[in-house]
Structure 1
Amino acid sequence: MDTNMRNVIFYGAVSLDGYLADDNYSLDWLFKYNDEKIMKESYQPFFEQVDTVIMGRKTYDDLMRMSDEFPYPNTEVFVLSHRKIDSKYVKQTDKPVDELVKELKEKSGKNIWIVGGGQIVSSLIEHNLIDTIQIQITPDLLGSGVKLFQHMNHASRFQTIFAKQYGELIDIKYQLKSPTA
């Protein structure tokens, strides 16, 4: 693998039992953790290394309901959807996510952030296209909702390269192990 290739990273928060959102696709359970330190020490340095964002349509719609301002105006943003999106900030595509990521990895640039959701992340892991997973785990048990990892047909091996506690959140970074490691 070319060492100059861009990294594909999932960065996001999950509940202790692995959910991205509750049954209503809500993140309300997460918003109680308004920790400036994790934003300054984890998110901001991460985001400075990103110039491309990929998300699913549901994530995009939820994001736009939460904010009046588009949060990633200076990045190239792809939304996977069969329905047209009327936004100057995003490129709608119905291309399979693995094809899109393979094309983007071949182009020069910074890292590629997979914002959501679980089906996209799981599909990319199955295609060995997620290089890094960085998650902030909360002490919440949601019991059901939208899982980060959906059903996958094969196992992948990641190694822990970083872990730090921020209040009640644990920030953990995993790197995909090479098949020969």
Structure 2
Amino acid sequence: MRKVIFFGAISMDGFLADKDYSLDWLFKYDSKLVTEKCYDPFIKNVGTTIMGRQTYNDLIKEVGKVPYDDMDNYILSHHALPVEYQQNNVIQTSGPVTDLVRKLKVSEGKDIWIVGGGKLVTELISTKLIDTLEIQIAPVILGDGQRLFESVDAPSQFKLQSAEQYGQFTDLVFQL
């Protein structure tokens, strides 16, 4: 069975992005060690991404092209993607993310990366569909922005697997 993993960086107060959906605060830090020690080994095992429309749009703006063109990318949106954002490996879906994840988990392939956070991550945690949280904490307090976790109906218990420091970042890995 494929693993479902959230992988991403947050501020010390739990924000993925600032209130304007910007990651400028994150790019102020030298992330070479995090990339080498965390991201590079992680991405080798990923075959599918799932993200919301806002995250997808932000990634395209950031990198100037459709990201992760070597894997399947599921974009959750009720509105059609612009033609320039559509590619063979980009699959738009408006159905429940829980149904999609259940289907993908039992299919053949590499791990499934949940890109982004907030509602998406919270819903998958609430339904026990996330296997791993790998979170890099940056030494900044934003005070406001886009949270990694929204309110959950019931507590979820994870087990800490590892904690490592890479430059100014702390990488935490939790298993359900």
Shift of 1:90: 1.0
For 2:12, which of 13, 16, 21 is the aligned residue?
16
Out of 38, 45, 60, which is 2:41 matched to?
A: 45
Amino acid at match of 1:22: D
**Match of 2:109?**
109
Q: For residue 147 of structure 2, what is the aligned residue in structure 1?
A: 147
1:67 has 2:63 as partner:
yes
Any idea what the Cα deviations from partners look like across 1:29-84, whole Å, max 9, x if unmatched?
A: 00112321211111010000000000000000111111223330110000000111
Partner of residue 164, structure 2: 164
* Root-mean-square deviation over aligned CA pairs: 0.9
Moved over 6 A (4+): none
Letter in 2 for 1:93: T
CA distance in 2, matches of 1:34, 1:91: 33
1:76 matched to which residue of 2?
72
Secondary structure in 2 matching 1:78: strand
Quick one: distance in 2 between partners of 1:135 and 1:98?
21
Deviations 1:95-150 (A, max 9, x none): 11000000001101110000012110000000000000000001111111111000
Q: Is the 8 A contact 2:33 2:167 kept in 1?
A: no
Q: How many matched pairs?
A: 172
Gaps of 5+ in 2: none
Return the letter of the residue paired with 1:23.
Answer: K
**Which runs of 5 or more residues in structure 1 are unaligned?**
177-181
- TM-score (normalizing by structure 2): 0.95
Please give the alpha-carbon distance, in whole angstroms, between the structure 2 residues aligned to 1:33 and 1:11. Answer: 18
Indicate whether 1:56 and 2:52 are aligned: yes
2:118 paired residue number: 118
Name the CA distance, whole Å, in 2 between partners of 1:115 and 1:10: 7
Q: Structure 1 length normalisation: TM-score? A: 0.93
